[in-house]
A and B are shown apart, each in its own frame.
Chain A
Amino acid sequence: MEVVSALLAAGADQHEANTFGELPLHAAAFTGMDAVLPVLLNALAPPQVDTRTRRGRTPLHLAGAHDRPVRVSQKSILSLVRTRGHSSCISHGPQLGCLAIFS
């Protein structure tokens, strides 16, 4: 987490998507790096929170995609997204059934 903060403080661009269309936010949601989610989310313009990867996944989809016993990042990213008034979870993503994950 501290490495992420240090890079952001040095001016690392977090709007850079990789060749798979993934923003740093996608990766953080997927790996469950909850501590950096607020930092990454707050620096993004609202529409970017719903940015899709090449395979059509939003960060919220990825937060729910990993098969882990404790889904901390699901909850934290969802509450953050709700706080900011986004509807990432309602958006499509047929393979992952985002709404089902959180219901």
Chain B
Amino acid sequence: MSLSDWEPVIGLEIHVQLKTNTKMFCGCELSFGEEPNTRTCPVCLGLPGSLPVVNARAIHYGLLMGEAFGCEIAPRSIFARKNYFYPDQAKNYQISQYDTPLCAGGHLGDVRLNRIHLEEDAAKLVHLGESGRIHGSEASIVDYNRGGTPLAEIVTEPDIHSAEEARDWLNLLRVTLRQLGVSDVNMEEGSLRADANVSVRRKGETQLNTKTELKNMNSFRFLMQGINAEVKRQVALREGGGRVQQETLHFDPTSGKLNTLRSKEEAHDYRYFPEPDLVPVVPTEEMRAEARAALPELPAARAERYAADWDIQQDTARLFAFEPDWGDFFEEAATAAAPLPARPVANLVMELRGRVDGDDPLATPVSAQAVAGLARLVEERKTTAGNARKVLEILAKEGGDPAAIIEREGLGAMADDGELAGIVAQVIAEHPDVVERIKGGNAKATGALIGPIMKATKGRADGGEVNRLIRQQLEL
């Protein structure tokens, strides 16, 4: 038996901070690194007598996600109190959703969603002393700036079967949410947090086995490390005749190991009950229509469209879909270059993307029209593919007109006037040893001729034409 005999079964629970102006249940502005406890009010500090009021924008974002993922929207969605004592909750309960979340079901790609619900984020704790945790710390201080930030919790069904799939799906989710405009979805900054529920089963089996919950994997790398480590642990355990215990595990990024946070017996009883300070959220048809109208084209749909309408490579289509600014740029260039095929245009855009910093094509001085023009010049053999890259490099630095740059820099293709044939003949004459090797059956030796030819033509020669001429003159 080995790892390959087992199938990991993975479900993700993702928390995303919503990009609203104000907090989930009060009018405090969201905090981005302000002085501690400056973005607070009686409500998010849980002062006696204060009451929560639901942020309408957060509901809109929830509906936006629900519509985008084809979820069922609850006709009456109810907030509940999740009771637990910890200083990161000012009220010692979190207002969350329990048995009637805003969105149920739906899917993204081929992963089904279980639910999406809204809740409030916890405050930030800093523990002074060596332990770094509340137990054994000399003192712990609380910054309530983050407390009350709107969160959406997205829970998938256990439809994921490897760490790589988990990473890819999470990336698709991240790009989708970013395009929906509901969140910054930045794992490093904590606006996207993923927990994973992991179990394993023998390949071919369909039942769900006891799972463990993995927490604190705050980067894509850690997510994969954590899942892989846990799958390995569970497989070893099962193959050794042991049983997986239901528990919550904490990923330690320094060691890459998983430590038990709490066992099933230590699981909290959150004593959920309907939040009596809030009335049910009843999404009207108008609210839902508003959400539908606000839906942008999402990555999965965009990638399909690019591959189908423009006939470009799957990988490129996916990349343009995941980076919609580049996607838009490509579409503009491809449209301008039509009826030229889109593939060479896509290649030039990819080339350009590799040469500029940041992901914003508008931050470069290159216009989509210039890229289209360059593609046309290559197609018309006014310049070579190799020189086009040089033109692009200049365009990326200073912008301008590709034809003018070709003229100025002497990057045009050689005119078909016999000059190239002459150069080829001369190089052949200068390298009799190479010619001998070629004639002796070593086709690869041709490369030793191409180098000097390109040098002599300053790169203006078309590689295909050079090859053709060599073969012609050597009568191959």
A and B are partners in one complex rather than unrelated chains? no
Q: Which residues of A are in contact with B by a Cβ distance under 8 Å?
A: none
